[in-house]
Structure formats: C-alpha cells, structure tokens
Amino acid sequence: MKAIVLFGSPGSGKGTQAKMLTQCLGIPHVSTGDMLRERIRHVAERGNGITPEKAARMAAKMHSGALVSDQVVNQMVEERLSDPDATDGFVLDGYPRTLAQAEHLDHWLDGRGTREVVIHLAVDYNIIIARLTGRRQCTRCGTLYNMASQPPREDTLCDKDGTALVIRDDDSEPVIRQRLEAYERQTRPVLEYYASVNRRVVMVDGSNDPPEAVFRKICQALETDDCQEDGRGTGEDAP
Ligand code: AMP
C-alpha cells in the first residue's frame, strides 16, 4: 500500500500535485476539503447521517477559515480509505491537519502494517496569498486555474469542458489569513510530531517552480523512497 500525505499550507499546491500523482500512480486522491464541500452540498438530498444543523455548522466553520472537528474528519477519512479503490494506496490532500488527526492516521496505518510518506510542500507566504486570491476552479471537473500564473484560455471558462469557473467562498483575503493562522497554530506542529516519531518527511520547495517541475521533484523523492524500501538508495530528506 502506498500511503502518501501531501502536507502544506493552503495554497501550497497540494490539490494540483495530488491530481498529478493520482493520474501517475493510479491511486485515489483523497481531499478532505473536497469531501467536506461535497457532504455539505448533498446533505439535503441524501441525509448522509448528518443533520442540516450540523452541515450548517460545518459550512460556517469552513467559510470562516477554521477547522472542522477532528472526530468528523477522522471518521470521514477512515470510511474513505476503506473503500476498495484505496486498497493499493491513496494520496491524502489536506489531512492530517492536527496532531489528533496525525495520530489517528498512524493508528489506522499501523493496523495495516504500513507507514505514510509525507511530502511537505513549502511555499513562501506572499506567494500563497497571491495564489489563493487568483485561484479559480471548475465546478464540474475540479480543474484549478490561477489568473496570474495559469490562466484559462477564456477568462472565466474551464479549458476542458467550458464550465464557468468560480472563486471559492473561503478564498477572500480575510478568510485566507484565517486559514493560514489555523495552519500555523494547528497544522504546522504536526511536522514536529512526525519528527518525534522518525517519520519520513520529504521537503519540496514549491515556491517558484511551475507545477510540472514540482511534480518531478516529488516523483524523484518517491522513487528514492522505493529504492530505500528495496535497500538500494539513499534519500535527500530535509526535516
Ligand atoms: P481545503 O480545501 O483543504 O483548503 O479545506 C477547506 C476547509 O475545509 C478548511 O479550511 C477546513 O475548514 C476544512 N477542512 C479540510 N480538511 C480538514 C481537516 N483535515 N481537518 C479539519 N478541517 C478540514
């Protein structure tokens, strides 16, 4: 089982890299942000075991840039990772985001005799703010664009299917700052946890390179990981 955790602040490019990894490795992209948004959208029609009040509370947290409770997210991820398409592995995007989530994931992986490889996408904060404020997403296929660095061919339409692009509710500057604050306070300490349990964390600088170049660096790191499993290679890890 290949368990890959894409770790990094909002806007560090986790979603873009996760989609590329998924295509390349044939394992599913598990984005907790996407799953939560999907749950909220479908709560009225399917129920999903979530009351409309609970869905409204979750949506309010997400719109304010705060994190949803560990219990909700851990259960959601556990169910998703138990789906048949995740038997050979998965790419986690946006999870774990707290110490409790990291411990929960480790416990789940322990039960399957495996360990995650953590890819830490490190990006300068000013670049992150510029990226998030320029971000647009296709509501149909999920393709991400950036009006500054990766604009669509036509200003507001997806290149792939012509669907209108939208700005996410939580991509306004005050909410972005809130999300970055939540990252600093609740998520960054997860790196210390990984260091304390000697987990392999590969740092990839994603500040200036185009997504394809960042992806190549990630692939190199994962190949190194395979080599290490085979006892053939050395790594170039950074804490
Ligand atoms: P994302 O799409 O990953 O930027 O996530 C959007 C929002 O969903 C976050 O700002 C949180 O409110 C919520 N969220 C996503 N993943 C998690 C998580 N692992 N734990 C708690 N809240 C999350």
Q: How far apart are the first and last CA of the chain?
A: 24
Burial environment of residue 31 by CB neighbours within 10 A (0 to 12, 13 to 18, 19 or more): buried
Q: Which amino acid would we find at residue 155?
A: D
Q: What is the CA radius of gyration of the chain?
A: 18
Question: Which ligand 1 atom sits nearest the alpha carbon of residue 65?
Answer: 10
Q: How far is the CA of 233 from the centre of ligand 1 (A)?
A: 35
Active site residue 135: yes
DSSP-based helix, strand, coil % in the chain, nearest 5 = 50, 15, 35
Active site residue: 14, 19, 39, 131, which one? 14
Which of the listed residues 34, 64, 67, 92 should we mutate to test ligand 1's pocket, taking the one with most ligand atoms within 8 A of CB?
67
Q: What is the pLDDT of residue 93?
A: 98
Q: What is the pLDDT along the chain (239 residues), one digit of tens a residue?
A: 899 999 999 999 999 999 999 999 999 999 999 999 988 888 756 656 678 888 889 999 999 999 999 999 999 999 999 999 999 999 999 999 999 999 999 999 999 999 999 999 999 988 888 888 898 999 899 888 988 888 999 988 999 999 999 998 888 888 998 999 999 999 999 999 999 999 989 999 999 888 999 999 999 988 865 434 433 333 333 33
Active site residue 185: no
Active site residue: 97, 131, 136, 217, which one? 97
Question: Which ligand 1 atom sits nearest the alpha carbon of residue 14?
Answer: 3
Pick left, alpha or beta for residue 89 (phi over 0 → left; psi -120 to 50 → alpha; otherwise beta): left
pTM of the full structure: 0.86
Q: What is the pLDDT of residue 69?
A: 95
Q: How far is the CA of 177 from the centre of ligand 1 (A)?
A: 14
Question: Which ligand 1 atom sits nearest the alpha carbon of residue 32?
Answer: 16
Q: What is the pLDDT of residue 155?
A: 82
Ligand 1: residues with CB < 6 A are 10, 32-33, 36, 61-62, 65-68, 73, 94-95, 97, 101, 170, 179
Q: How far is the CA of 225 from the centre of ligand 1 (A)?
A: 28
User: Which DSSP symbol is given to 68?
Assistant: P
Q: What is the pLDDT of residue 49?
A: 66
Q: How far is the CA of 169 from the centre of ligand 1 (A)?
A: 13
Torsion of the alpha carbons at 178, 180, 184 and 187, rounded to the nearest 10: 100
Using DSSP, state whether 150 is helix, strand or coil.
strand
